């Protein structure tokens, strides 16, 4: 082992591993870290005894850009509010044991009629995340993703309270107005709200949808301009959301977005990808082989070469599972390429170039994974060389 590993610094050595690099897989190799950073790696037997991975996969820790799962811990039942810091710690533990070492916590910057229990908590939850971080309660590295519902009243004012924070790494321009984007099939939206809201009648949904259309007419254009300007002012990367048409793509390009979340059609995804905008799709979509909203599948976009980033969205464990099974279900994609969609590429997309790959000088955020059939099981997790799970 080189001299840099022979001093008294804190170091980690993982041996006998199937090592996933950014561009290839070492079938039997080792990786060493010093003071939280990858120092070196190699093929074959390690230069000294370390932690034996027993042939398991060792890959970079996963980087998650869009997960709504914190809300399920904060409001585990309708009208039941958990202690926000305890909710953050529970959620963080779930993420870490799923192999996620860096996460952008998606916070809703809007209030939604008939769903108040799930909305209006961005400021409260951001404070809870900060408190948990400051008291060293967290296993993963947490940043913020502001999900800005553009036609909603108050979105600009609430975004202003949060956008200047140093932990805000992404803001998405969202518009769930009925009859467009994710829910251009209005019946799919009706099914969604019947399940979510405890059985609203069609008459009640007619009133809700009419109200949403009026909000977009009154506030959509002005709020879009204001949020885009605010993000540019703070140099916060922007994401578009559920792009469907050529007009949506043109709007995303004009706004200067870096990431396109969940485009709903192959045509939109192709145009966004060709414009240099990274296309993010759902890992649950890839695992299931279809979109729950009836839109284009992640597998189809991967096969076409338009998929850049995966997100676990509403199932944290799906991120690793999608990366592991992608080489099996998408022709032409190997394990290294699949793992990039959940590590290196998302990290770079939000300016975190210090992580996401096993390479000297990168953070030693690492996970050890054993696969049982097509099911990956996380055995160990290290964040900056320190075991956290």
Walk me through the domains of the chain, giving residue ranges and CATH numbers: 3-58+374-387 (2.30.40.10), 62-354 (3.20.20.140)
Cα gap 342→155, rounded to integer Å: 30
The backbone torsions φ and ψ at residue 134, rounded to the nearest 5 degrees and listed phi first, read -65, -25
Lowest-pLDDT range of 124-128, 154-158, 192-196, 330-334: 192-196
**pTM (whole model) above 0.85:** yes
| pLDDT tens-digit readout, 286-345 | 999 988 667 899 999 999 999 999 999 999 999 999 999 999 999 999 999 999 999 999
pLDDT at 94 over 80: yes
- Highest-pLDDT range among 8-17, 77-86, 190-199: 77-86
Distance CA(379)–CA(389), nearest Å, equals 8
What distances in angstroms separate CA 76 from CA 28, 144, 264, one per listed residue?
A: 43, 21, 29
Residues with Cβ within 8 Å of residue 204, at least 6 apart in sequence: 114
Q: Cβ contacts of residue 157 below 8 Å, gap of 6+?
A: none
Residue 212: its pLDDT value, please? 76
Q: Is 198 left (phi over 0), alpha (psi -120 to 50) or beta?
A: left
User: What pLDDT score was predicted for residue 181?
Assistant: 62
What is the chain's alpha carbon radius of gyration, rounded to the nearest angstrom?
Answer: 21
Query: CA dist 291 to 172, 264, 298, 338, Å?
Result: 20, 9, 8, 19
110 — pLDDT class (breaks 50, 70, 90): confident
Whether pLDDT at 38 is above 50? yes
pLDDT at residue 6 greater than cutoff 50: no
Q: Which of 387, 336, 277 is nearest to 25 (CA)?
A: 336
Roughly what angle, to the nearest 10 degrees, separates helices 202-233 and 246-255?
Answer: 30
- Cβ(258)–Cβ(240) under 8 Å? no
Predicted confidence (pLDDT) per residue in 335-348, tens digit: 999 999 999 999 99
Whether 291 and 282 have beta carbons less than 8 Å apart is answered as yes
Distance CA 339, CA 373 (A): 18
Instruction: Render pLDDT for 136-145 as a digit per residue (tens, 0 to 9).
Output: 999 999 999 9
pLDDT at 204 over 70: yes
Spatial distance between the Cα atoms of 118 and 78, rounded to a whole number of angstroms: 9
Higher-pLDDT residue of 155, 12:
12
Q: Is the pLDDT of residue 99 over 90?
A: yes
Distance (Å, rounded) from C-alpha 93 to C-alpha 90?
5
Residue 36 CA to residue 359 CA, distance in Å, equals 12
Q: What percent of the chain has pLDDT over 70?
A: 89
Q: Please report which confidence band the pLDDT of residue 180 belongs to, taking 50, 70 and 90 as the band edges.
A: low
Mean pLDDT on 9-34: 95
What are the Cα distances from residue 186, in Å, to 64, 205, 231? 30, 11, 31
Return the HEC string of the chain: CCHHHCCCCCEEEEEEEEEECCCCEEEEEEEEEECCEEEEEEECCCCCCCEECCCCEEEECEEEEEECCHHHHHCCECCECCCHHHHHHHHHHHHHHCCEEEEEEEEEECCCCCCHHHCCCHHHHHHHHHHHHHCCCCCCEEEEEEEEECCCCCHHHHHHHHHCCCCEEEEEEECCCCCCHHHCCHHHHHHHHHHHCCCCCHHHHHHHHHHHHHHHHHHHHHHHHHHHHHHHHCCCCEEEECCCCHHHHHHHHHHCCCEEECCCCHHHHHHHHHCCCEEEEEHHHHHHCCCCCCCCCHHHHHHHCCCCEEECECCCCHHHHHHHHHHHHCCCCCHHHHHHCCCHHHHHHCCCCCCCCCCCCCECCEEEEEEECCEEEEEEEEECCEECC
């Amino acid at each position: 082992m080189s001299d840099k590993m022979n001093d008294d610094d804190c170091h980690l050595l993982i041996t006998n591993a199937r090592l996933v690099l950014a561009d290839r897989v070492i079938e039997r190799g080792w990786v060493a870290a010093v003071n939280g950073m990858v120092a070196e790696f190699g093929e074959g037997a390690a230069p000294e005894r370390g932690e034996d991975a027993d042939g398991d996969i060792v890959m970079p820790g996963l980087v998650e850009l869009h997960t709504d799962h914190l809300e399920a811990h904060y409001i585990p039942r309708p009208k039941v509010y958990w202690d926000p810091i305890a909710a953050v710690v529970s959620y963080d533990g779930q993420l870490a044991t799923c192999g996620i070492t860096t996460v952008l916590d998606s916070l809703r910057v809007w209030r939604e009629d008939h769903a108040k229990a799930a909305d209006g908590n961005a400021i409260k939850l951001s404070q809870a995340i900060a408190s948990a971080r400051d008291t060293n309660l967290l296993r993963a590295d947490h940043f913020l993703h502001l999900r800005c519902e553009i036609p909603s009243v108050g979105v600009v004012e609430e975004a202003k309270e949060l956008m200047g924070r140093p932990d805000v790494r992404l803001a998405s321009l969202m518009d769930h107005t009925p009859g467009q984007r994710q829910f251009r099939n209005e019946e799919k939206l009706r099914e969604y709200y019947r399940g979510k809201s405890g059985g609203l009648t069609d008459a009640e949904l007619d009133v809700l949808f009419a109200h949403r259309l009026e909000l977009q007419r009154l506030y959509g254009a002005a709020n879009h301009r204001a949020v885009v300007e605010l993000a540019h002012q703070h140099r916060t990367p922007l994401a578009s959301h559920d792009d469907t048409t050529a007009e949506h793509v043109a709007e995303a390009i004009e706004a200067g977005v870096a990431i396109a979340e969940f485009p709903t059609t192959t045509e939109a995804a192709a145009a966004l990808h060709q414009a240099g905008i990274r296309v993010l799709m759902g890992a649950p979509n890839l695992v299931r082989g279809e979109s729950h909203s009836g839109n284009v599948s992640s597998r189809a976009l991967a096969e076409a070469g338009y998929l850049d980033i995966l997100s676990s969205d509403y199932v944290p464990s799906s991120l690793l599972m999608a990366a592991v099974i992608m080489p099996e279900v998408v022709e032409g994609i190997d394990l290294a390429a699949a793992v990039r969609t959940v590590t290196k590429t998302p990290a770079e997309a939000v300016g975190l170039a210090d992580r996401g790959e096993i390479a000297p000088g990168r953070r030693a955020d690492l996970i050890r994974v054993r696969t049982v059939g097509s099911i990956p099981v996380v055995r160990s997790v290290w964040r900056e060389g320190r075991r956290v799970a």
